[in-house]
Each structure stands twice: as structure tokens, then as C-alpha cells.
Amino acid sequence: MSPAAATASPPSVPPTYVIGHRNPDADAICSAIAYAAYKEARGDLGYVAARCGNSNARIDTILARFKQPLPLYLSDVSPRVRDLMATDVISIPENATCAEALELLDRHHIRVLPVTSARKGVVGVVSMAALGGVFIPRVSEPRAMRQVNTSLAHIARALHAKALHVVGEKRIEELFVRLGTMDLSSFWSISVRENIPASQSIVIVGDRHDIQRRSIELGVRAIIITSNLEPDDDTIDFAKERGVSLIVSPYDSATTAWVVRTASTIERVIERNIATVGQDMRIADVRKKFSAANAHAIPVTADDGALIGILTKTDVLKPVQTRLALVDHNELTQAVPGADEVTIAEIIDHHRLGALNTAQPILFINEPVGSTCTIVADLFRRENLQPSPEIAGIMMSGLISDTLHLHGPTTTSKDALILAWLGSIAGVDSKKLADEIFNSGSVILANPPEKIVRSDHKVYEEEGVKFAVSQVEELGFGNFWQHAKPIAEALGALRDEERLAFAALLVTDINTQNSLLLVKGDAGLIQRISYAHVEQDEIFDLPGIVSRKKQLIPYFSSLLKEMAADGALPTASRAPFRKKR
């Protein structure tokens, strides 16, 4: 879903999406909901709880227990054309005149006009530069300087003229402009030399009756009489008799001649070989199109080709309105796709610091506690804001899930204090809530292997080595052993697909506070793992290890530093790249 489609905040307030990491766990979802509620309680507008991954049985149980909807799903927050394009597009039909195009360009202070067909499809564009090329005098081509491709109706409209007698007024034809300002004896000699037939000639003349009658005798296509000087009745009758059109212009001869040239249709100046973009295209990709096409503006079209907007080079440089508040992570490798292209305004987290740069100072709260929900609850408490019982229950759930009900190694005294405070507000016994959460369903039984290995999946980089660790929590290891082989195959496929040096799955038994570790990847690293093998070479027994953040990742970091010192760092998978579906 696009960020632009969300309607949770007033239109005048840019949305700030409070969002956890990819493949979110309970703490990521619960802290997003709670932080948005905290911001609302403070009177800060536009904060919307969001997620960038699917739910699971545990999250569904928590949300149902406290009557909270699943946060808004955002698969990608990369700025799109629809976020920056202008929708009130000024366009022009393909049968319009240069005069009409020039008027629109001048009135709206724009440089490019999309040209549309009768069905609103994009035919091309007309630019000020292209129009200028038509009207710049070319003394080496006097014939071309007098040429117009238009109809008499277009000429009369451009001049705001009075049509006394017009024959075939809507017919588009190639015509040539002549000024009747010279002596009658030499008036037509130049046209004869340039081989311009009378039937294609438009004569612009003042009150020179001799020129007017001679033009009618020759059978010119039309006579345009300037300065509102209407001819006498005999001249009008003579023109009607000979089938010559008569038009009276309010302008002088020089102005009339220039305006007649602008009455030419835009057919010759339409740039037809142009790029168009759809409204869902990423701005990063559009920038490449601008560079390749050297265009000032690109029309935006719907699936049926209809014009729906326009995007200029200036537009793609505008700041994007989308803002993010990251919760439960601070690394771009774990953030929603496109996070590096929008504004990261705030970060609330309890993990180690990753490599993340921002364009300006931001609010960054990072505390060594057991869960992000602990931090958010403490923000409520410090500002004397009491969450609703439902939001208090949501924060209890995230805290219980991440600390294994205060039994995990990351648990602090602050977690215990906050849990008790939240329990008093929610009116919920934390032990009963923990039982309900941890009994809410097995991730392994409820999902196919490829989804299991992506459950609470995070990507890391140490010593230049990229790897991933996923984690599932189960009541015992029975379910894992029943499905160990397909899970191992899925983990290997994940490693290949994401070009990782290795991928690991930590399966934690909530009851015994022990874990099993499944690793797929570099053989040299696997050989250095000091924990005991269990049945298969790639499965290890990790007694007392339940925290990926505080126990497993530091262990892998030490292994990689050791391998770096030995010059034996693992390399990424060389398996053929398979595009994600």
C-alpha cells in the first residue's frame, strides 16, 4: 500500500508512520501502536502506526485480546511519482494552434504543455523552445517564414477578427502569407518567383482597394484587411462572387502577420518521441529518465494511457512529505524498503547502534532495556500521561514477549517496574497474559518452512560480512525436530536468495530458556562454532541462550573478528540469483 493512500491524519499534516523492522515481532508491532498513541496523547498530529511485514499467531492473539487493529501495511515507502506530480495539468488538444499554446504557456508560467488526443491520451508535448524555433526569423528561407499550416477559422480566432465572408473555414491547409504593401505593378511578382499559387495565398492589406481587388481577381485564398478597415460593399460582393474569403483584423499589418503565423496548428512542433511515466514509478527511477531524455517535464499517464499528471525536474528535487518514526530498530538493513529515501524523523529503540545517517538532527531514544515497549511506556509515565487500559495491555504484551516475561537475559529492573505499572492500568495479571501469549500457537506448525525462516528475520553486517539471523519461540523443540529438514532447506534457499555469507535460525524453548541454532552457509564459520552439535552438523545446542541481540549477535561478531584476524572471512553465496516473487 502506498503511504499516499493512508487517510489516518488530516490532509494538512504530513503523515509520520511509526513502523518497526521487517518481519516484525510482537514488540515491533506493539511499540508502533503504543508510540502512535503516545504522540496522540501529547497532541502531536499525523502519527500512524504501521508495519512492513506480516502478522503471526502471537501478534494476532495480542491485538484481539486488547481490541486493536493490525497497523497499516507499508511494503515500500520509496517516494513515487504520485507523491510529487502536479495533478491539475494544463494540456492542449492536438488540433490546437500555436497561438493557443503560447497563450497557455504565458498565462500559467510553464515551459511544457502535454498534447492530448480526443480520448485524453498523451500524443506528445509542446515546449516554449519548440515554438520559438518556428517563430524565429530564418532569412535564408523566406518561403518558410511565410508558411502556415492551419484553417481560416483558426486564423480568425487567433486574430479575434471579424469574418465577412469565409469559404471552407475549418479546412486545415498549407497557406502562405503575403503583405500587400507595395505598388500594384510589383505586388505579385515575388509570389510568382517563389512559385506560390494564389489559391494558397493569404494577403494582408490595409485600405488599398487596388490591392484588394487585384487579389480577388487572382483568386487568393483569403484577404485579411487590417486595423478594422472594412471594405466597401462592392469589394465584399466581388469576393463572394470569386469565392475569396474576407477577414477584418483589429491589428496593424505587422502584428496581424505575426498572429497569423501563430495560428498555425501545433502539428509541426509536437515532440512525439517522449517518455511517459506511471504514477507508481519510484522517483529514483524517474531521475534516470530525466537524465536520459534531457526533458524538463514528463507526462504521467494512467494504465489506459490517459494523462493524469505531470512531473518536472523541479518536482523531483522537492522534499518528500513522508516521515518515519522507527521503533525497535535503527538499521536501514532492517527498515522498510525506501526508508533511506524519505525523512527519518525519530528513532525509539533498545538495540545496538547501527550505521544510519540522517540529513538533520532527530529525536533518538536508545535505552539498554528489554523491549521498546518499556521505553514507550516510560515516556507516558514521565509526562504524566496515562495510556488507556487497551494501550497499556498492548505495551505489556510487547514487553512480555521480548523479555520472555522478565526471564530473558536482556531484562532490567526498569522492565519489571514498567510491567507492574502497566498491569495496574490494564487490570491484567502479567503471568496469565504471558501464558496466553506464549500458548497462542506454534510458528513452526502454523507456517511453511520458507516463512518460518523469515520469522523475526534481521540482516546484519560485521567485518564487511553480511548475514541474517531469524528467531522463533516455541514451547519445546518437538515441532522443530519434526520439520528440521525442510526448514534447513528453506534457510539455505534464503541464504542464496539474499546473497548472504550465512543465515541462521535461533529456535528458543520458552519453558527451559534454551535454544537450538540452525546455520546454513560458510563451512569455515560453521566449523568455528564452539557449541555442541546436535544430530546434524549444522544444528547446535545453545543452553541458556535466548537473546539474539545480547547473546547470539555478539558471539557471531567475535567469530567474525577472529576469522578476520586469520584472513579467513566468509564470502557471500555464489548461487545464481533468483528474483523474489
Q: What is the pLDDT of residues 449-490, one digit of tens each?
A: 999 999 889 999 999 999 999 999 998 899 999 999 999 999
> Among residues 420, 428, 387, 415, which one has the least CA distance to residue 62?
428
- Secondary structure string (H, E, C) spanning 307-368: EEEEEECCHHHCCCCCEEEEECCCCHHHCCCCHHHCEEEEEEECCCCCCCCCCCCCEEEECC
Q: How far apart are CA 348 and CA 324, in angstroms?
A: 11
Q: What is the pLDDT of residue 577?
A: 47
Torsion sign over Cα 527, 528, 529, 531: positive
pLDDT band with cut points at 50, 70 and 90 for residue 186: low
Q: How far apart are CA 391 and CA 375, in angstroms?
A: 14
| Percent composition of the chain: helix, strand, coil (DSSP 3-state, to 5) | 40, 20, 40
- The fraction of the chain above a pLDDT of 90, given in percent, is 65
**Helix (H) or strand (E) run with residue 520 in it:** strand 514-521
Q: How far apart are CA 288 and CA 307, in angstroms?
A: 21
Joined together, the cell numbers standing for residue 372 give: 521498546
- Strands 307-312 vs 297-301: parallel, antiparallel or unpaired: antiparallel
Residue 565 dihedral angles phi and psi, to the nearest 5°? -65, -30
Q: How far apart are CA 100 and CA 226, in angstroms?
A: 21
Q: What is the pLDDT of residues 496-544, one digit of tens each?
A: 999 999 999 999 998 888 999 999 998 999 999 999 998 777 999 999 9
Torsion sign over Cα 101, 106, 107, 112: positive
Q: Which residue has the higher pLDDT, 422 or 210?
A: 422
CA distances (Å), origin 416, targets 127, 376, 384, 408 = 68, 14, 19, 12
Residue 237 in 3-state DSSP? Answer: helix
Q: How far apart are CA 164 and CA 247, in angstroms?
A: 6
> Among residues 507, 388, 392, which one has the least CA distance to residue 443?
507
Q: What is the mean pLDDT of residues 27-32?
A: 98
What residues does CATH 3.10.310.20 cover in the chain?
Answer: 445-565
- Strands 502-509 vs 465-474: parallel, antiparallel or unpaired: parallel
Torsion sign over Cα 556, 558, 563, 569: positive
What residues does CATH 3.40.1390.20 cover in the chain?
Answer: 80-318
Q: How far apart are CA 474 and CA 515, in angstroms?
A: 10
Q: What is the pLDDT of residues 72-115, one digit of tens each?
A: 999 999 999 998 899 999 999 988 888 889 889 999 998 899 99
Joined together, the cell numbers standing for residue 566 give: 586469520
Question: Is the model's pLDDT at 190 over the cut of 60?
Answer: no
Q: How far apart are CA 192 and CA 204, in angstroms?
A: 17
In the block, cell 534457510 appears at 491
| CATH class held by domain 445-565 | alpha beta
According to CATH, the topology of domain 80-318 is 3.40.1390
Beta carbons of 61 and 42 less than 8 angstroms apart: no
> Among residues 391, 376, 386, 373, which one has the least CA distance to residue 66?
391
Q: How far apart are CA 34 and CA 52, in angstroms?
A: 16
Helix axes 26-42, 57-65, angle to 10 degrees: 30
Q: How far apart are CA 364 and CA 345, in angstroms?
A: 9
Q: How far apart are CA 572 and CA 521, in angstroms?
A: 8
Name the superfamily (CATH) of residues 3-79+321-438.
Answer: inorganic pyrophosphatase (n-terminal core) (3.90.1640.10)
Q: What is the pLDDT of residues 262-273, one digit of tens each?
A: 888 888 889 998
Q: What is the pLDDT of residue 13?
A: 79
